[in-house]
Chain A
Amino acid sequence: MQAPAQTSGSGLRLAIVLGLVALAAIVPILLPSWATLITLVAAKGVVVLGVIILLQAGQVSFGHAMYFAVGAYAVAFWGRHMGPGDLILYLLLGSAAATLFGAVIGLFVVRYREIFFGMLNLAFSMVLWSLLEKLYHYTNGADGIRVVRPTIAGIAFQPETFQYALLYVTLVIAVVASYVAQRYLDSPLGHMLRAIKSNETRLEYLGVSARRVLLIGYVLSAFLCGLGGALVAVAQQIATPEFGYWTKSGEFVFIAILGGSSSALGAFAGSAVFEIVRFYAAAKLANTWQLILGVVLIAIIMFAPNGLVGILNRNRRNAEARR
C-alpha cells in the first residue's frame, strides 16, 4: 500500500478534492434529481471510509452493513417513537448507536483475524438482520420504518430546498470525515493499525496491544458506518432490514476495492461509479446493472490493482515521468 499523503502530490490532491466537492455541489443545481443521488454517493462514501480503515489493518468485514443499519434504525426508531427530530440529533443518534454497538461487538471480534474476523462479523450482522426482519411488531418487518423529514438546525425546509440542504450537509460531513480518517491513518495509531496487516508480532514485541489498536480502528469504522447509515435513511426517508443484509456488506467492500482502498478519495470515487452505474442501468440498460458492475469490478481487480484512484495516480506519475 502506498505511503500516505506524499508531500509532492498533496497540493494536486487537494485541488482535485476541492474541484470534486465543488462539482458535487453545483451539478445538482442544473440537474435537480442529482441532488439525492450525490447525497447517497457521499453518504455511502462515508460508510466505505469505515470499511477502508479496517482494510488498512488487512481485515475484511463481511458484516459492516450492520452498523449502517444500526445508524439508520436509530434514526427511524426515534422518528417512530419520539416524533420528528432534527438532522443534527439524528446524526448524533445514528453514529452514537453504531459506535456503542461497534464497541460491544468489537470487544469480541478483534480477537480474531482474517477469515475468522470476517465470519464473525458476518454472523453478527445476520443475527441483526434476522431480528430486524422478524420482530415485525417493533421493526415493521421487511418493509422497514419510514423516516420523516427532519428539520436542519431547527429550520424546517420545504421539500424542494430540503434535498439541497441535505446534500450540502452531507458534503461537509464527507469532507470532514475524510479529513479525520486520513489524519487518523497518518497518526501513530494509524501506523500501528497498518502494522497489524504487515507484521502483528513485531507490534506486540513493541509492547503495543494489537487488540486495542484494532478495537480503536473498529469502533471508528462503526462510527462512520452509522453516520452514513443515518444520512442514507434521511435521504431515502426509510430504513429497511435490507440495509443490514450480507449483500450490502459485500457492496461496501466492493466499493472500497473499486475505488481503491488506499485513500479516502477512493471511497467516494468507488461510491460514485457504483451508484451512477446502478442508477442508469436500472432505467436504461435493461436491468443489467449487476452484470455491468461485476464485470467492472473484475476488470479493476485484474488490471488496476489500486482501484480507480490507482489509475488516476498512475496517470499522474506517468505524466511526471515524461516531464
Chain B
Amino acid sequence: MDSTIFILALLDGVSYAALVFLVSVGLSLIFSVLRIVNVAHGSLYAYGAYVAATLSLAVAPISPWLTFPALLVASVAVGVVVGGVMERFLLRPVYGREDVLQLLITFAVFMIMDNLQRLIWGVQPIFASTPLKLLPNVSVLGVSYTSYQVILLPAVALLTVLGLRYFLRHTLAGAVILAVTEDREAATAIGVDARRVFLVTFMIGASLAALGGALASPTTSLVPGMGADMIVLSFAVAATAGLGQIEGAAVTALMIGIARAFVIYLQPEFEVLVPYLIMVLVLLIRPMGLFGVDKVRKI
C-alpha cells in the first residue's frame, strides 16, 4: 500500500478516535456502575458542544486563550447539572424496576433535550473555532493538519485514559465505585452509599460526553440533531470493546477510527457501514466484547 496514504489515514483515524473515545468511555462507565444504557448520552455530547461554544464566544473577546478553560468548564458544568438532574430526579425513582424502563427514561430525556436544544440555541449552525485557530498547523508529507486535531485531541484522550485508570485503581473514591460495580449488595453492606456512587458516576460519565462535545465544538458546526449519530457510534465502540472497559474502549475507538479513515481513502462509499459491521462481527463472536469478561448468561 502507498505509504503516504497509510500515514495520513493513521493521523486522521487517531484524531477521530480521540473524540469518539471520550464519549464512549462515559457511556461505558455509566453502564458498568448503574447497568443503564444512557440513550441521552448523545444529547449530553451536543449540550457540551453548545455550552462550550456559547462560553468561548463570550470569553474570546477578553482573551482568546480563555477559550481553552472555557471548554473544560462547559463540560463539567453540563455533566454535573444535566447529568445530576437526570440521575437524581429521573433515574433514581425507577431503580429496581424493569431495565427497559430505565432505558426508556433516557430515551425520553433524549427527545426532550433534542427539542430544548432547538428552543435554546435555535436552528442556525453555530461555530466557535477560536481554539482551533490559536494552535499552529503542522505539515505531514505535504499535507497540513491542525495541531488541535492531531496533537491536542489525542493527548486529552490519552490523559483521560490514564486519569480514569489512576482514579479507579488508586483513589478511595475510585475503589468505592469499583466495589459497587463488582457487587452492589456487598458494597452496601459494608457501608458504601450506593446512591451517592451512582450520582457521582453518572456525573463523571455525563461530563466525559460533554467533554467530547466541547472539544469537537471548535472543529464542527453545531446543528440540531448532532447528538443522534454520536450516540449510536459511541455505543458501537463501547459495545465492541465490552461495556465497562476503559482501555478497551480506547483501543476499539482507535481501531474503528483508523478503519474508517482507510475506508474513506480506498472505498468511501462504505464509511458509514464500518463501525456497525465491526460491531456485528465482534458481538457475534464475542458478545461480551473484545475486552469484556464472560458474564453473558446469568444462569
The reply to whether A and B meet directly (CB within 8 Å) is yes
Q: Which residues of A contact B (CB under 8 A)?
A: 55, 58, 60, 62, 108, 111-116, 118-120, 122-124, 126-127, 130-131, 133-134, 200-201, 204, 246-247, 250, 253-254, 257, 287-291, 293-295, 297-298, 301-302, 305
Name the CB-closest residue of B to A1.
B98
Cross-chain contact A127 with B115 (CB below 8 angstroms):
no
Closest residue of A by beta carbon distance from B104: A257
Please, which residues of chain A bring their CB within 8 A of the CB of B272? 130, 133-134
- Measured CB to CB, the nearest residue on chain A to B93 is A302
Partner of B105 from A130, A201, A290, A301 at Cβ < 8 Å = A301
- A114 B99 Cβ-Cβ under 8 A: yes
CB distance from B257 to the nearest CB of A (A): 17
Cα separation A105 to B116 with both chains bound (whole Å): 37
- Of the candidates B115, B235, B269, the one whose C-beta lies within 8 Å of that of A294 is B115
With A120-B280, A127-B276 already in contact, the answer to whether A293 and B111 are too (CB < 8 A) is yes
A113-B297, A134-B269, A290-B115 in contact; A305/B97 too (CB < 8 A)? yes
Chain B nearest CB, measured from A119 CB (Å) = 5
Chain A residues with CB below 8 A from B83, complex form: none
Given A115-B243, A124-B280, A289-B115, output 8 extra A-B contacts at Cβ < 8 Å. A126-B279, A133-B272, A254-B107, A254-B108, A290-B112, A291-B111, A297-B108, A301-B101
Tell whether B37 is near chain A: CB-to-CB under 8 Å. yes
| B118 partner residues in chain A, CB cutoff 8 A | 287
Q: Taking the complex as formed, is B109 at the interface, i.e. its CB lies under 8 A from any CB of chain A?
A: yes
Which residues of B come within 8 Å of A, CB atoms? 31, 35, 37, 39, 90, 93-94, 97-101, 103-105, 107-112, 114-116, 118-119, 228, 232, 235-236, 239, 243, 269-270, 272-273, 276-277, 279-280, 283-284, 287-288, 296-299
Write the nearest CB–CB distance from B98 to chain A, whole angstroms: 8
A297 vs chain B, min Cβ distance (A) = 4
Of B99, B110, B239, B273, the residue contacting A127 (CB under 8 A) is: B273
> Which A residue's beta carbon lies closest to that of B276?
A126
Q: With the chains together, A19 CA to B296 CA distance in Å? A: 46
Most buried by B among A118, A130, A200, A294: A294
| B105 cross-chain contacts in A, Cβ below 8 A | 297-298, 301
Cross-chain contact A130 with B287 (CB below 8 angstroms)? no
14 A-B residue contacts at CB 8 Å?
A60-B100, A60-B103, A111-B287, A112-B296, A115-B31, A123-B283, A200-B299, A204-B299, A257-B100, A290-B114, A293-B108, A294-B110, A302-B94, A305-B101
Task: Please determine whether B228 and A247 come into contact, CB atoms closer than 8 angstroms.
Answer: yes
CA distance in complex: A274, B280 (Å): 31
The listed residue with most B CB atoms (<10 A of its CB), out of A123, A288, A290, A297, is: A123
From B108, B276, B298, A123 is in contact (CB under 8 Å) with: B276
Of all chain A residues, which has the CB nearest B238? A119
Contact B273–A291 (Cβ < 8 Å): no
Residues from chain B with a CB closer than 8 A to the CB of A114 are 99
Residue of A nearest to B232 (CB): A246
B115 touches A291 (CB 8 A): yes
**A287 surroundings in chain B (CB, below 8 A):** 115, 118
Most chain A CB neighbours (cut-off 10 Å) among B39, B116, B280: B280
Structural contact, B277 and A291, CB atoms closer than 8 A: no
Complex CA gap A291/B280 in Å reads 33
- Of B90, B110, B232, B287, the residue contacting A116 (CB under 8 A) is B287
Give the nearest-CB partner of B281 in chain A.
A123
Q: A246 to chain B: which residues have CB within 8 Å?
A: 232
Q: Are A55 and B280 in contact (CB-based, < 8 A)?
A: no
Complex CA gap A197/B126 in Å reads 47
Given A113, A126, A250, which contacts B236 in the complex, CB threshold below 8 Å? A126
Q: How far is the CB of A39 from chain B (nearest CB, A)?
A: 24
CB neighbours (8 Å) of B103 from chain A are 60, 62, 118, 253
Task: Report the bound CA distance from A224 to B108 in whole Å.
Answer: 25
Residue of chain A at shortest CB distance from B39: A250
Residue pair A115, B280 in contact (C-beta under 8 Å) = no
Looking across the interface, which residue of chain B has its beta carbon closest to that of A126? B276
Contact B111 A290 (CB under 8 A): yes
Contacts of A204 in B (CB 8 A): 299
> A267 → chain B, closest Cβ, in Å?
15
> Does the CB pair B283–A288 fall under 8 Å?
no
**Complexed CA–CA distance, A294 and B98 (Å):** 19
B271 vs chain A, min Cβ distance (A): 8
**Contact, CB under 8 Å: B100 / A55:** yes
